[in-house]
Copies of this chain bind each other. A is one copy, B any other.
Amino acid sequence: MPADAHTTAAPPSLRQRRRAVATREIVDAAERHLDEHGPAALSLRAVARSLGMTVQALYHYFPNRDALVTVLITKAYDDLADAVQTAVDTAAEETAVPRLVTAAEGYRRWAVDHPERFRLLYGTPLRDYEAPAGGPTTRAMRRMSALFQRELFGGFTAEQLAAADTHALSPSLRTRLEALPADDGSGALPPAATMLLLSAWGHMHGLVVLEVFGHTSFIGGDHQAEIFRVSMHHLLTEIHRRIPVAPPGVRGSGSPRSARG
């Protein structure tokens, strides 16, 4: 009977299609529930109820709650990366604001617009939830990492990046960072550059986390947006200041984008 079972390329039988749309409906309902009540309150029964079915029916589409949560997490990661991507793409013409700042603001924008989904990704893991090994987390993180890496270091040569002026890194750390798999196709990043990238990631993420989790609410939304933007400008100029100007005869101006300080 299962002639083409392994490729599943043949005809999407009517049954399979129904199953597919049912699955999507469940995911959508779960996402709505997530956006309204937060990740901690995610309830299979509530999701089933909102679809007019009983809980047990869900178990024919997902083996357990964790499977559904994993789908939600995967989708949220992709949505976030998409948001950043389109932010850089659509605003590519406005040269007034550096592309890295645009990307960072896309990151913040999505987080502020979808706080519960952001909390699902970067907050306390759900009760008893265990992320699948080799899961979507790392994959999505690499995609985003590659994105920011391009905006942060694009235009610099590998030699310039390797000569970035950081504090001394221990040999142990250097080899560890060199051993990291390259996020992008463009070869591995020099240790100093990886160091700067991680630091920048923490900076951007930290400000967003503080805001989304309400620890800086005393400032007010608009003001937080401005603080974030200024911080990202600072971050960019400071990192670029650590990268030496290109040796004569090599492309790359030293501060390839928007030299404002």
Q: A: which residues have CB within 8 A of B? A: 38-41, 119-120, 122-128, 137-138, 141, 166-167, 169-170, 172-173, 176-177, 180, 195, 198-199, 201-207, 209-210, 213, 215-216, 218-220, 222-223, 226-227, 230-231, 233-234, 238, 242
Contact of A230 among B38, B123, B167, B209 (CB under 8 A): B167
State whether A201 touches B195 (Cβ < 8 A).
no
Q: Report which of B138, B215, B219, B226 forms a contact with A218, defined as CB distance below 8 A.
A: B138
Could you tell me the distance in whole angstroms from the C-beta of A171 to the nearest C-beta in chain B?
11
Shortest beta-carbon distance from A241 to chain B in Å:
8
- The answer to whether A226 and B138 touch across the interface, beta carbons within 8 angstroms, is no
Residues in chain B near residue A213, CB distance under 8 A: 122-125
- Select A227's contact among B123, B199, B218, beta carbons within 8 Å: B199
Q: Which residues of B contact A234 (CB under 8 A)?
A: 166-167, 199, 238, 242
B126, B172, B201, B231: which contacts A222 (Cβ < 8 A)?
Answer: B172
How many copies of this kind of chain does the complex include? 2
Distance to closest chain B CB from A232 (angstroms): 9
Q: List 25 A-B contacts (CB under 8 A).
A: A38-B124, A39-B124, A40-B40, A40-B125, A40-B126, A41-B128, A123-B213, A124-B213, A125-B213, A137-B215, A166-B230, A167-B230, A167-B234, A170-B226, A195-B230, A198-B227, A198-B231, A199-B234, A202-B206, A202-B207, A202-B210, A202-B231, A203-B203, A205-B209, A206-B207
CB A83 to nearest CB in B, in angstroms, measures 18
Chain B residue at minimal CB-CB distance from A196? B234
B210 to A201, Cβ gap below 8 A?
Answer: yes
A116 and chain B: residue at smallest CB distance: B124
Distance from A203 Cβ to chain B, minimum over Cβ atoms (Å): 4
